[in-house]
Structure 1
Amino acid sequence: MVQKQPPSADPVVESKKRRRVGFSPADAGVEANECIKIYLASSKEEVGSPEISCLNPVDLNSFFDEEGKIYGYQGLKINVWINSISFCAYADITYQSASNGAKGVTDLKSALQKIFGETLVDSKDEFLQTFSTERDFMRKIVSRGEILQLKAINGSTDRLNNISGVPPSDLEVVRMSIDSSNAGLLYSRLVPLVLLFIDGSSPIDVTDPDWQLYLLIHKKEEKEECLYRLVGFSAVYRFYRYPDRSRMRLSQILVLPTCQQKGYGSFLVEAVNNVAVAENFYDLTVEEPSENFQHIRTCIDINRLIGFDPIKPAIDSAVQTLTQGKISKKAQVPRFIPPPSAIEKVRESLKINKKQFLNCWEILIYLALDPIDKYMEDYTMIIANHVRADVLGKDLETPGKQVVDVTSSYDPESSFVMFKSLGGGGETGSNIQTEKNQTDQEQQLKELVEERIREIKLVAEKVSPR
């Protein structure tokens, strides 16, 4: 028989017993986004200076295991400094204490090398020395590159001169094939910036000769010598198009965070556009453009298209049709898309691909409507028609496709049937799609249309005094 031990009469002894039983506090870890700060410095005096603002990289948590957390440290702070001349990096790591808990201790050096690779130097002194020992890094890198001669498109030089505080004569765009030793070395040092500041991007294949780097260089006279500084770059891929043409795909573009909002990005895009036209590529495409880049790209292309005379008759015709009467009262809403001949002329002369031109076409019509307020209701209906066609594969008043989920033992989450309805809004579609789904769909389409109208107005404000 088990019997309870009588309670101790000595409270001191009892207190000691209680203190022997306990658990270490669980290590919840700290998110990488909370403890890592990234800085860009152009001189050793800037390193550690409180006047240098930290940058805003993409999600740093994605580079760490266990849900983006770092374990085993109390009071952890990691300040990473990047040399904006040579792109070497140094991580200043401090913490109050470290303990090996249930999740272990994160190997910080190994984790940081996943991002910074060989650019990460071991000591602060070594890092500070790179500001002098690699002072001419960029000048040596571009010495074997091709300096591009930038020409204004449609006779206008305004866009090439629109750089805040920097004369265009101080800027050079240098093109280099990625398989050259200099370009390969430079890109290996730029990879951390690609990972940190281009969302969803991954390094390109430096052994593929069809990749080219376009480097935007700022030349600055300092103490009787010309210093070369990289302010931005883009990676462009050249690929074959049957039967005898080549296409350009802009896959990566980045202006250094400390140089943004000054017009450098537009300057670099103009340079790539010039090459596409001068070397008679079939067209220029962009791989998964971000929202901000797409805005810049569209503003540039709108300015090019405004001065492109061959499409003016088509724009005038579309505007005349829109202003003749209430579009909303017509039995079928016109598509208001450019004629194939205009699409082909734009592609052949300006190298703007069809998808981008259709995006610009809506803005060109908006800019041509005067006064815009008088025709805004009908214009919005046209945009709604385009959005619906893009999302659902059908116009407002025309037959389209329907997708219906079905039960399947093979893959319940991805089994469906697609069919084409014979009449828009007919009984077949209304029976299959519930009223609630239709309401949700219409609300989502309405939000997409409103967002598209906002985008159009933002571009219009940039390219027009209206």
Structure 2
Amino acid sequence: MADKMRDQLSPFIADGPQVIELKLVRDASEVEDESTTFKAEMCHQVYGEKEVIFGYKDLKIKLFYSACRLTTYIGIEYSSKVTPDLCDGVVADDVEKPLLEIIPKGYLKDLGHFKAAIQEDVTFKPFGSLIDRLELSSGQTFEYYSCDTHEPNFLPYHERLQAFLMWFVDGASFIDTSDPRWHFFLVFEKYNPGDGVRYAIAGYGTVYEYYAYPEKIRPRISQVLVLPPFQKMGLGRHLVESIYNHYLGSSNVLDITVEDPSDEFEALMDVINCRKCITLPAFSKEKVKQGFSPEMVEEARKSFLMHKDHVRRSYEILRLLFTNRSDKEEYRQYRIEIKRRLYAPFKMNQKRGGAARRAGISTDETQMTQEQQVELIKQMYKEIEECYDAVIQRLKRS
């Protein structure tokens, strides 16, 4: 009986990311064009950890946006829906309610009205100030803009834009735009379909300007997203570089940090930072092989506003790049240096634990043994070298 019920309900169980259809529509003809559709990479931040939506057969959640203004259309389609009598009183999931927690008011549910609204994109102009421009070999032109929370009409636009984070950035959260210390960097494709220049959103980044004693700020890159139709074009790298260049012109900036980067974004930052560092005298092959130095930190901070942690990481990658791994002693010295850094926190904890015991304070008796620490450091080093090697390969290709 249970197997029969399961078979009956199976068509009503949907894999969330596969049924969410997104579009950035430039012309009404693209609404029915399946080639312009892209899927969500995740939906657990909207529909729960299992990313399953129950209760609908042939479910489609259509989230269409006009490419410039981000006028929003929500369409929920299905061929049939479960009824309480079919599954012992269990009802279908509410598909729309979670959507409305991330999509602001003003959306459309009539496809005809949405198609008509696309024409309003022709009057759209980017927010803020133009800070950079990128022209690709394909002939596409992208412009980079900077703005803050005081920019007229920007915050409602940002409300529509930030919803994309929930489908493509794990651990994403909406920011408090009432705080004026937030700064925004937007990427638009500038194009002309024949009836005038238009600007289609391609990606954006947010930066929070922290106070740094005594009279400086420390901008922290919070979130960066390049929308799927524009990925693999180098726009993300150029966006990060544009953010750094924007702040390089400010005398009150101490350095720039990054908030909890994903592995992919950290790799991007590694490539960008290594490219910068290798242009500095302090990062010549000879000096890098001599070891990490305060000179490296100071040059990278003054020239590129790099935080000392990013400088150290760039040094380690470049040191590996310059290391002759066929030379056993040279390679061993590199491994020793990295492992010493990895061991430092363990050594500090041991000192603190010893001081606590001498003071009669109880300590955690479940701390790792020396042998366990050694094994953990070996594994950590292995993962670090693999990560650094991936960056080195990207550096060699560029």
The alpha-carbon distance between structure 1 residues 221 and 134, as it changes in their structure 2 partners (threshold 3 A), is: closer
Match among 353, 364, 368 for residue 419 of structure 1: 353
Cα drift, residue 75 of structure 1: 4.3
SS in 1 for 2:225: strand
Question: Aligned partners of 1:433, 1:234: CA distance in 2, in Å?
Answer: 41
Cα drift, residue 249 of structure 1: 0.9
1:23-73 Cα shifts (integer Å, max 9, x gaps) = x94868735526622222333322233333532422x13423696544443
Match among 117, 138, 148 for residue 165 of structure 1: 138
- Give the share of equivalent positions with the same residue, in percent: 22
Corresponding residue for residue 359 of structure 2: none
The alpha-carbon distance between structure 1 residues 387 and 119, as it changes in their structure 2 partners (threshold 3 A), is: farther
Contact 2:73–2:114 (CA under 8 A) maintained in structure 1: yes
SS in 1 for 2:203: strand
Corresponding residue for residue 329 of structure 1: none
Structure 2: 5+ residue runs without aligned partners? Answer: 357-362
Cα drift, residue 353 of structure 1: 0.1
Contact 1:31–1:61 (CA under 8 A) maintained in structure 2: no
Calculate the TM-score normalised by the size of structure 1. 0.72
The alpha-carbon distance between structure 1 residues 376 and 130, as it changes in their structure 2 partners (threshold 3 A), is: farther
Question: Aligned partners of 1:239, 1:38: CA distance in 2, in Å?
Answer: 37
Say whether 1:361 aligns with 2:315: yes
Corresponding residue for residue 237 of structure 1: 208
Contact 2:73–2:111 (CA under 8 A) maintained in structure 1: no
Say whether 1:82 aligns with 2:65: yes
Question: Aligned partners of 1:277, 1:256: CA distance in 2, in Å?
Answer: 26
Contact 1:90–1:122 (CA under 8 A) maintained in structure 2: yes
Q: Match of 1:463, as an amino acid?
A: L
SS in 2 for 1:464: helix
Contact 1:251–1:287 (CA under 8 A) maintained in structure 2: yes
The alpha-carbon distance between structure 1 residues 49 and 444, as it changes in their structure 2 partners (threshold 3 A), is: farther
Say whether 1:270 aligns with 2:253: no
Contact 1:32–1:70 (CA under 8 A) maintained in structure 2: yes
Calculate the TM-score normalised by the size of structure 2. 0.83
Contact 1:57–1:196 (CA under 8 A) maintained in structure 2: yes
1:260-286 Cα shifts (integer Å, max 9, x gaps) = 010111111111111121113110011
Q: Match of 2:353, as an amino acid?
A: F
Corresponding residue for residue 305 of structure 1: 277
Corresponding residue for residue 373 of structure 1: 326
- State which structure, 1 or 2, has the greater radius of gyration over its C-alpha atoms: 1
The alpha-carbon distance between structure 1 residues 118 and 291, as it changes in their structure 2 partners (threshold 3 A), is: same
SS in 2 for 1:225: coil
Say whether 1:94 aligns with 2:78: yes
Question: Aligned partners of 1:421, 1:318: CA distance in 2, in Å?
Answer: 37
The more displaced of 176-185 and 262-271 is 176-185
Contact 1:71–1:103 (CA under 8 A) maintained in structure 2: no
Contact 1:400–1:421 (CA under 8 A) maintained in structure 2: no
Structure 1: 5+ residue runs without aligned partners? Answer: 1-21, 151-159, 321-335, 404-417, 423-428
Question: Aligned partners of 2:254, 2:162: CA distance in 1, in Å?
Answer: 29
Contact 1:164–1:263 (CA under 8 A) maintained in structure 2: no
Question: Aligned partners of 1:224, 1:134: CA distance in 2, in Å?
Answer: 11
Cα drift, residue 240 of structure 1: 1.4
The alpha-carbon distance between structure 1 residues 438 and 459, as it changes in their structure 2 partners (threshold 3 A), is: same
Contact 1:237–1:248 (CA under 8 A) maintained in structure 2: yes
SS in 1 for 2:320: helix
CA-atom RMSD, angstroms?
3.2
Q: Match of 1:380, as an amino acid?
A: R
Contact 2:22–2:38 (CA under 8 A) maintained in structure 1: yes
Contact 1:400–1:420 (CA under 8 A) maintained in structure 2: no
Corresponding residue for residue 147 of structure 1: 130
Match among 134, 150, 154 for residue 183 of structure 1: 154
